[in-house]
Amino acid sequence: MDKFIVKKNAVEEKIFVTQPLLPSLDSVNQQLEEIWESKWITNMGTKHNLLAEKLKSVLKVKNVSLFNNGTIALLTALKALDLPYGSEVITTPFTFAATPHCIFWNGLQPVFCDVEPDTMTIDADKIEKLITPNTSAIVAVHVYGFPCDVEKIDKIAKKHNLKVIYDGAHVFSTEINGKGIGEFGDITMFSFHATKLFNTIEGGCLTYNDDKLFRKIYNLRNFGIQSEELVEDVGINGKMNEIQAAVGLLNLDLFKKEQEKRAEVKDFYDKHISNIKGISIPKMPENTTNSYQYYPIVIGDDYPLTRNELYEKFKTINIMTRKYFYPLCSDYECYKNLPSSSKENLPVANDVKNRVLCLPFYGSLSRDVLEIICEVLNEPV
Ligand SMILES: Cc1ncc(COP(=O)(O)O)c(C=O)c1O
């Protein structure tokens, strides 16, 4: 590999794992003027409806319902499927807190399933042994942008009459064999949080094939209010406002360029990291497009530093990597006593949680910083 010039002191400002995709202030002001002029700032306005329509083709899905954030969207997805109160939902511990919390907030019991070592998504081969007569659904996460084994999960769900919800917070625009990833399962949630590739500051959506879910989800997102005098369901407030939608419309024009820049960052990392003994780079399956949401590496026993030591080393030079997803959700105070949280049930997840490190990954990451990161990885001691 190229020898980098040592410039480890060059990082003066903190480098974070990501940076939000920001449209120009001029373009935002233009949108704000239009919104102010219309005097319609929330409640399914024109920008909201336009964004939902455009997302159908960007995500290659049949139905899109927009939300004020991904967590409320996921909460609503579980509600919309009318799962029996108190029933068990099989999920992964290797995810963000929102995933099991949404299960629990619906009065359902999260049951943690182990993950695959390569993609760190739920291990479909381990799902069936967790199914009981009380199981109602599977909530799987396309973690870091790696797709779950959607075919195997689909087969298991059909065999046991279970609903499938995908947490697709990390897979904006991902396709499997040319099909939008949001087409799989009963419902998929996408997050449009500021840290995501495509953002509406805060926001999210649900995608689904069953047209009948549209009215149900509309109601659940809008206090159950269908019309002035008709309240049909026990809904909450999950509406995306016009300013969020406007930022989304602007970012729709920018996200592909950002993906291209991230592809270059990925190439640079791949080239300079892939030969390092003790570091492995999880690979995207051939039939899947990359969302370019994260760049995780896995630290093996034969690397001179542990993952935590490497994280600390980067911190001393102002480079803030992330130990996603450490701790596991099954380690949280609120879930650690569940039977499925035992280490015996989750050997792979408990191993990878101590090995994964997400590197800074965004289009405007400078070449200098990239060189420094790769230099540290190549010569950690
Ligand atoms: C895997 C996963 N699920 C759910 C969420 C929650 O989404 P939001 O922040 O839009 O509520 C996030 C991240 O924010 C996430 O990473």
In this predicted structure, the answer to whether residue 48 has a pLDDT above a threshold of 70 is yes
**What is the average pLDDT value for the chain, to the nearest integer?**
96
The yes/no answer on whether domain 25-252 falls in CATH 3.40.640.10 is yes
Predicted confidence at residue 151, as pLDDT, reads 98
* Per-residue pLDDT reduced to its tens digit, 177-210: 999 999 999 999 999 999 999 999 999 999 999 9
pLDDT at position 351 over 60: yes
Question: Is the CB of residue 44 less than 8 Å from the CB of residue 52?
Answer: no
CA torsion through residues 370, 375, 377, 378, sign? positive
Indicate if ligand 1 lies below 6 Å from the C-beta of 167.
yes
- In the chain, residues under CATH classification 3.40.640.10 are 25-252
In the chain, CATH 3.90.1150.10 sits at 8-20+255-378
pLDDT for residue 7 = 52
Is residue 371 very low, low, confident or very high in pLDDT (cuts 50, 70, 90)?
A: very high
State mean pLDDT over 215-240. 98
Task: Decide whether any atom of ligand 1 lies within 6 Å of the 140 Cβ.
Answer: no
| pLDDT value of position 89 | 99
Task: Label residue 274 by pLDDT band (50, 70, 90).
Answer: very high
- Ligand 1 near 141 CB (within 6 A): yes
Split at pLDDT 50, 70, 90, the class of 9 is: low
| Ligand 1 centroid distance, CA of 362 (Å) | 18
Superfamily of chain region 8-20+255-378: Aspartate Aminotransferase, domain 1 (3.90.1150.10)
pLDDT value at 84 more than 50: yes
Place of tokens 């892939």: 274
Examine the pLDDT at 92 and tell me if it is beyond 70.
yes
Cα of 61 from ligand 1 centre, angstroms: 20
Pocket test for ligand 1, best of 66, 71, 196 (most atoms within 8 A of CB): 71
- Dump pLDDT digits (tens) for 286-309: 999 999 999 999 999 999 999 999
Which whole number is the average pLDDT over 272-282? 97
The amino acid present at 202, given as its one-letter code, is: E
Q: Write a three-state SS string for 58-105.
A: HHCCCEEEEECCHHHHHHHHHHHCCCCCCCEEEECCCCCCHHHHHHHH
Does residue 101 have its Cβ closer than 6 Å to ligand 1? no
Does the pLDDT of residue 256 top 90, yes or no? yes
Least confident span in 9-13, 116-120, 269-273? 9-13
Give the pLDDT score at 11.
79
Band of pLDDT at residue 10, cut at 50, 70 and 90: low
Radius of gyration of the chain (CA): 21
pLDDT score, position 319: 97
218: pLDDT strictly greater than 70: yes
Check pLDDT > 80 for residue 2: no
How many Å lie between the centroid of ligand 1 and the Cα of residue 6? 37
CA of 168 to the centre of ligand 1 (A): 9
Cα(305) to centroid of ligand 1, in Å? 30
Residue 147: HSE in the Cβ half-sphere, 13 Å Cα cutoff:
27
Task: Kindly tell me if the per-residue pLDDT of 90 is higher than 70.
Answer: yes
Does 1 have pLDDT greater than 90? no
Residues 6+ apart with CB under 8 A from 363: 257, 258, 260, 261, 262, 265
